[in-house]
Amino acid sequence: MTSDGNVRVCENGHIYVKKSDCPTCPRCEEERKPDSGFLSILSSPARRALGNNGITTLEELAGFSEKEILAFHGMGPSSIPKLRKALGEKGLAFKG
Protein backbone atom coordinates (compact mmCIF):
# COMPACT_ATOMS: atom_id res chain seq x y z
CA MET A 1 0.00 0.00 0.00
CA THR A 2 1.19 3.51 -0.80
CA SER A 3 -0.02 6.73 0.77
CA ASP A 4 -2.16 7.17 -2.36
CA GLY A 5 -3.81 3.73 -2.27
CA ASN A 6 -3.30 0.01 -2.85
CA VAL A 7 -0.95 -1.21 -5.55
CA ARG A 8 -2.65 -3.90 -7.63
CA VAL A 9 -1.89 -6.07 -10.64
CA CYS A 10 -4.70 -7.00 -13.04
CA GLU A 11 -5.04 -10.33 -14.84
CA ASN A 12 -3.29 -8.77 -17.84
CA GLY A 13 -0.26 -7.81 -15.75
CA HIS A 14 -0.95 -4.06 -15.56
CA ILE A 15 0.20 -2.48 -12.31
CA TYR A 16 -2.08 0.26 -10.97
CA VAL A 17 -3.01 2.00 -7.71
CA LYS A 18 -6.58 2.22 -6.38
CA LYS A 19 -7.95 3.95 -3.28
CA SER A 20 -11.32 2.25 -3.53
CA ASP A 21 -12.39 -1.38 -3.56
CA CYS A 22 -13.14 -1.12 -7.29
CA PRO A 23 -11.31 -4.00 -9.00
CA THR A 24 -11.29 -2.37 -12.44
CA CYS A 25 -7.90 -1.78 -14.03
CA PRO A 26 -7.82 1.71 -15.57
CA ARG A 27 -5.46 0.64 -18.36
CA CYS A 28 -7.69 -2.30 -19.35
CA GLU A 29 -10.73 0.01 -19.30
CA GLU A 30 -9.01 2.49 -21.59
CA GLU A 31 -8.11 -0.32 -24.00
CA ARG A 32 -11.78 -1.45 -24.05
CA LYS A 33 -13.12 2.03 -24.85
CA PRO A 34 -14.77 2.02 -28.28
CA ASP A 35 -13.42 4.42 -30.90
CA SER A 36 -16.89 5.25 -32.19
CA GLY A 37 -20.56 4.80 -31.48
CA PHE A 38 -22.67 5.94 -28.57
CA LEU A 39 -20.65 3.97 -26.00
CA SER A 40 -17.52 5.95 -26.91
CA ILE A 41 -19.02 9.17 -25.49
CA LEU A 42 -19.64 7.68 -22.04
CA SER A 43 -17.43 7.27 -19.00
CA SER A 44 -16.13 3.79 -18.16
CA PRO A 45 -18.59 3.30 -15.26
CA ALA A 46 -21.52 4.29 -17.50
CA ARG A 47 -20.35 1.94 -20.27
CA ARG A 48 -20.04 -0.90 -17.77
CA ALA A 49 -23.48 -0.09 -16.34
CA LEU A 50 -25.08 -0.48 -19.75
CA GLY A 51 -23.06 -3.57 -20.63
CA ASN A 52 -23.86 -5.25 -17.30
CA ASN A 53 -27.53 -4.78 -18.15
CA GLY A 54 -27.23 -6.17 -21.68
CA ILE A 55 -27.46 -2.83 -23.49
CA THR A 56 -25.09 -2.66 -26.43
CA THR A 57 -27.19 -0.89 -29.07
CA LEU A 58 -29.30 2.26 -29.23
CA GLU A 59 -32.31 0.13 -30.08
CA GLU A 60 -31.86 -1.80 -26.82
CA LEU A 61 -31.33 1.48 -24.93
CA ALA A 62 -34.62 2.83 -26.32
CA GLY A 63 -36.42 0.03 -24.48
CA PHE A 64 -35.63 1.68 -21.13
CA SER A 65 -36.81 4.88 -19.47
CA GLU A 66 -34.35 7.50 -18.23
CA LYS A 67 -35.31 6.59 -14.67
CA GLU A 68 -34.50 2.92 -15.29
CA ILE A 69 -31.12 3.79 -16.81
CA LEU A 70 -30.25 6.10 -13.91
CA ALA A 71 -30.97 3.25 -11.48
CA PHE A 72 -28.09 1.21 -12.94
CA HIS A 73 -25.02 1.13 -10.71
CA GLY A 74 -22.38 3.33 -12.33
CA MET A 75 -24.76 5.45 -14.39
CA GLY A 76 -24.75 9.14 -13.53
CA PRO A 77 -27.06 11.97 -14.52
CA SER A 78 -24.46 13.55 -16.82
CA SER A 79 -24.77 10.55 -19.15
CA ILE A 80 -28.49 11.05 -19.83
CA PRO A 81 -28.17 14.11 -22.13
CA LYS A 82 -25.45 12.33 -24.13
CA LEU A 83 -27.62 9.25 -24.48
CA ARG A 84 -30.71 11.31 -25.32
CA LYS A 85 -28.77 13.05 -28.11
CA ALA A 86 -27.42 9.75 -29.49
CA LEU A 87 -30.93 8.28 -29.50
CA GLY A 88 -32.37 11.38 -31.18
CA GLU A 89 -29.77 11.24 -33.96
CA LYS A 90 -31.13 7.81 -34.85
CA GLY A 91 -34.79 8.82 -34.53
CA LEU A 92 -35.15 7.00 -31.21
CA ALA A 93 -36.01 8.08 -27.67
CA PHE A 94 -36.11 6.67 -24.16
CA LYS A 95 -39.21 4.67 -23.28
CA GLY A 96 -42.07 6.63 -21.75
Average pLDDT over residues 54-58: 96
Q: Is 27 within 8 Å of 10 (Cβ atoms)?
A: yes
Contact by Cβ (8 Å): 18, 8: yes
Alpha helices, DSSP H, located in the chain = 26-32, 44-52, 58-61, 66-70, 79-89
> Same domain, yes or no, for 24 and 41?
no
User: Residues 1-18: pLDDT tens digits?
Assistant: 556 788 898 888 888 888
Q: Residues 40, 24: one domain?
A: no
CATH number for position 58:
1.10.150.20
Instruction: Specify whether 40 is located in the same domain as 63.
Output: yes
Is 53 within 8 Å of 70 (Cβ atoms)? no
**Predicted local confidence at residue 59, as pLDDT:** 98
List the domain range (segments joined by +) for residue 22.
1-32
Q: Name the average pLDDT for the chain.
A: 89
- pLDDT tens figures, 11-45: 888 888 888 877 777 787 777 777 878 999 999 89
